Chains A and B, each alone.
Chain A
């Protein structure tokens, strides 16, 4: 975009104010209230290139960790130890990370060792407190209700990564995968149609074998699979009769692809037991941990978009008990994933995103029946981004003292999704063809009135 000199000056000024990763406002608070020592000087502030468009693909793949139910931002990535017990509950401490000035929740001790590899957005906002609407909004960038069913950004990314003939970088493995259950009710494919639905694995990667629906059948050996296939070919009389029929040819082609997954090497991409024990242990021997491990294996095979549907964050009651169980599992798996991707040189080309549809009420509901619960909160929440062209060691935006509202730099779902499109080499201003014959812009246009805080240029490396 060509700015006039005056405008460019303003842009530069704004960028400078935000500083590297737009972290300065955070630092002011960090410097004076938390750490008590000056670190501002250590940051060589660089100006992020002001290029809102012209995407070159920085990333090849996305792992979306979908924390369905809405995780508490205060207990994860936006702790408010100074807000007092009614806000922090028992988690009054924080974890200092390996990036000075950034602290995260006290239970996220592993993630604290790798803050240089990821950035945190602490000013996600949309103001919606209903699960379904917020889920739709956070994953499509739009509010429901204008009579177009928008696709999940994973379906859009898959759409742009699939050739006309249906070929993708993952070969026979589906290019868009959900571990392990689909979200239900929410149509990931939207108007793009069933071709862009994710493949849902089913099963549980923490159990052996990981029974990927249709691909791995516990109790059935490879010999039995081969015998059955032979039997099928023997007994299919109509196929023998009509082998040249276009429908039968399509069936045979689909069947060969299916058997390549069942019997061939491709199916092993889903199998976490192919990994050394210590790697499996590092990720954690639980469903989420092993899902992260399987996600890494699938990324290595060229899968373009993976959603890990990580449930259990809707903690209206006994929130802190549940967090004590859940956060260490989350911490360990996500830290291992980021570290592992980095060590394998894959983090540069893989975006890892973790967030839910909203945050949770900053003030703890101590009274019965909640007994220390947190409710839905869409006014401000946090998102975790790493890799694929996102800078590490940065914090975008800020919530207020209590973690209740955005204080600085609101980031709306559409801003995050648009930035991911850009890193994936998809022009955020591009559009999709609706089956009814009109164009739909990838991101909401100005006329739609969807609020935006702008793409996350401050954390694009």
Chain B
């Protein structure tokens, strides 16, 4: 991403020790799970292009736990999804990107039995994986230049790059959290310090609220004020200093000044969220005391919250929902699955990709979108894969990929200018302050609060108007080089097939092919009609929803 950085972030050089042992144990575990999953997939297509014939069979522990629970609840799980549905789903869910026509052909032609697992493994190492999860962590961590967060463009770029780098390196999650919580230094040169800047309220209580929301998945607005004050103690010595450089800010541990300002002696002890009294040694930053408690394997909240977030990101709703609303009176729908994933995260050395892999390889994740029991109940307990509208950024990227076109993002304010090259995809936009009518219309979160609910994927009439009939979208479909073949084709059958692969990532059924051909012979110029077909497929629910 091009943004005029005052100084480029040399600070992105790692300053922490990577836990190699845990990385390899995670990898080995992943391979083991991969092998276990290669149990005979049914291959025959069912009555529709979305599911396979036959009953779903458990592939890993997630499935054993969920299927037995579904049985008790009287919910019949959906059938397994077809290869084409899986292909599209796992691309969109893991890397926020549509498979290309070529990738779709290859995967659908592949006859190796473990092709799904291989695909998952390859997607986890794609650059788009880092882009897409930087987008989601950017929502959680509120990365935007402007008001009310006011990171300003330089720090936005530095922070987003650091997060992307951490994700691309597969930094263990405990290290990721500890680094965000305990770093000190310049917001340009030590990017994780921006954690303490990307808040609306920099008081100790405000910082405590951001920490609790991000890492404990709870909203302190529901806490008794005494507990809030207790947590705030750990963040009461964080200080901010400006420098001579434009919008540079140093975040430091500054016990002397904060004590002088407060007019009170420094606290010698504090109470952790689990109620334990802990000593605050004068030579130690209280943030470190808190972080060390937070990332202990025995801490049940830390791991559960993050595995639940990943579950919610991949399946549309959390085992605890909303995923940032952990409360006594908001229990998980499958507590044993949450426990299992949390244990797996610890034993895999906090390797988040291990969790992505466990979920994506499960039969639960690979169910068809067609419920076989009461759809609402089935959705809550994950008896089928629920439809969700593509996120704003993913949707416009997919349309651009299909049509071979691009968006134009730039921003003159605040300074320095941010100019995004046209090859950069929307999922890789660092800054939520970049103006975009499309992204706003389709529910991009403003990143003001970090709440999961800020991202709105509902369908509105305004969105429908835009996709059906706006010059923005019609121009891409009618003029984009990616669909030139459909406008010039002499072989409608082939062109129809290509349109299906490109837009829906599957081959048309015989029935669809017949319908499409009938349309092409409907008396209008053939080329115009294939453009209309492209338009219809891009406006179909199959394109618009993850399914």
State the A residues within 8 Å of B (CB). Answer: 132, 144-145, 147-149, 172, 174, 182, 184-185, 187, 191, 193-194, 197, 199-200, 202, 211, 213-215, 217, 220, 225, 227-228, 231-232, 234-239, 241-242, 244-248, 250-251, 254-255, 257-259, 261-262, 435-437
Contact = CB atoms under 8 A, between A and B. Distances in A.
Nearest to A184: B435
Given A147-B148, A237-B48, A258 B474 contact: no
B413 A185 contact: yes
Interface string B162-202: 00000000000000000000000000000000000000110
Given A145-B147, A217-B471, 8 more contacts: A144-B147, A147-B148, A191-B448, A234-B519, A242-B370, A245-B375, A247-B459, A255-B464
Contact of B461 (A194, A231, A261): A261
Nearest to B524: A227
Minimum-distance CB pairs A-B, first 6: A214-B465, A257-B461, A258-B464, A238-B542, A247-B387, A236-B540
B448 A149 contact: yes
Interface centre among A238, A257, A261 (most CB of B within 10 A): A238
B389 A228 contact: no
Interface in B463-481: 463-466, 468-472, 474
17 contacts: A147-B148, A194-B440, A200-B437, A211-B471, A213-B472, A214-B465, A217-B471, A228-B532, A228-B536, A237-B48, A237-B49, A238-B540, A244-B375, A245-B369, A247-B387, A247-B389, A247-B459
A257 B464 CA distance: 9
Nearest to B472: A213
A254 B460 CA distance: 5
Contact of A149 (B148, B221, B468): B148
A251 B147 contact: no
B471 A213 contact: yes
A22 to B, nearest CB: 36
B464 A231 contact: no
A197 B451 CA distance: 20
Contacts of A228: 532, 535-536
A230 to B, nearest CB: 9
Given A217-B469, A245-B387, A147 B201 contact: yes
A287 B535 CA distance: 31
Interface string B41-56: 0000000111000000
B541 interface: yes
Contacts of B541: 236, 238-239, 242, 247-248, 251
Given A238-B541, A241-B370, A261 B465 contact: yes
A217 B471 CA distance: 7
Contacts of B451: 435
Contacts of A184: 435
Interface of B: 48-50, 147-148, 200-201, 221, 369-370, 375-376, 386-389, 411, 413, 435, 437, 440-441, 443, 446, 448-449, 451, 456, 458-466, 468-472, 474, 509, 512, 515-516, 519, 532-533, 535-537, 539-542, 544-545, 547
Contacts of A182: 437
A109 B183 CA distance: 66
B17 to A, nearest CB: 37
B533 A237 contact: no
Interface centre among B201, B446, B470, B541 (most CB of A within 10 A): B541
Nearest to A228: B532
Contact of A242 (B369, B413, B435, B471): B369
Interface centre among A227, A257, A258 (most CB of B within 10 A): A258
Contacts of A144: 147
B468 A258 contact: yes
A217 B440 contact: no
Nearest to B528: A224
A170 to B, nearest CB: 12
Nearest to A224: B532
A384 to B, nearest CB: 28
A250 B458 contact: yes
A172 B461 contact: yes
Nearest to B316: A247
Contact of B200 (A147, A185, A244): A147
B36 to A, nearest CB: 32
A108 to B, nearest CB: 33
Contacts of B387: 242, 245, 247-248
A255 B541 CA distance: 11
A156 to B, nearest CB: 17
B539 A254 contact: no
B458 A255 contact: no
